[in-house]
Amino acid sequence: MAERQVVDLNVAGSIPVSHPTFYLLDFWVLLSNNKIVMPRSTTILNISITPEEEAQIEKLAKKQATTKSSVVREALRVYRLNKNLDVIRDIGNRTTAAFGVDSFEDIERIAG
């Protein structure tokens, strides 16, 4: 189940149940202690990296005007993309070997 983030309404000001704004929050769960609970769309992951790696992440985040989390998410996206491309290259290499393709001329010869 998704972790829930609790927001204290006393900090932001109390929203009475009869207030129209309250109904905009109908996907939140109101607790008896004047707090609302919102489902998180992310999880927290603790990892160990070297100080140099952290410095690189911080530098990239500042350069791109984004968060360190965003930099790491993008790195994961690119890693997965590269792994998918590796699979595609492997299929291509096996296919060219099976058909004896060594050049573009071979492709034209096979394609007709």
Phi/psi zone of residue 100: left (φ > 0), alpha (ψ -120 to 50 degrees), beta? left
Listed by start position, the domains of the chain span 4-39, 51-111
User: Going residue by residue through the chain (112 aa), what tens digit of pLDDT does each one get?
Assistant: 455 554 444 444 444 444 444 444 444 454 545 565 666 677 888 999 999 999 999 999 999 999 999 999 999 999 999 999 999 999 989 988 998 888 889 888 888 7
* Distance (Å, whole) CA 53 – CA 69: 13
Asked whether 61 and 68 are in contact (CB, 8 A), the reply is yes
Residue of 60, 90, 55, 59 whose CA lies nearest to 75: 60
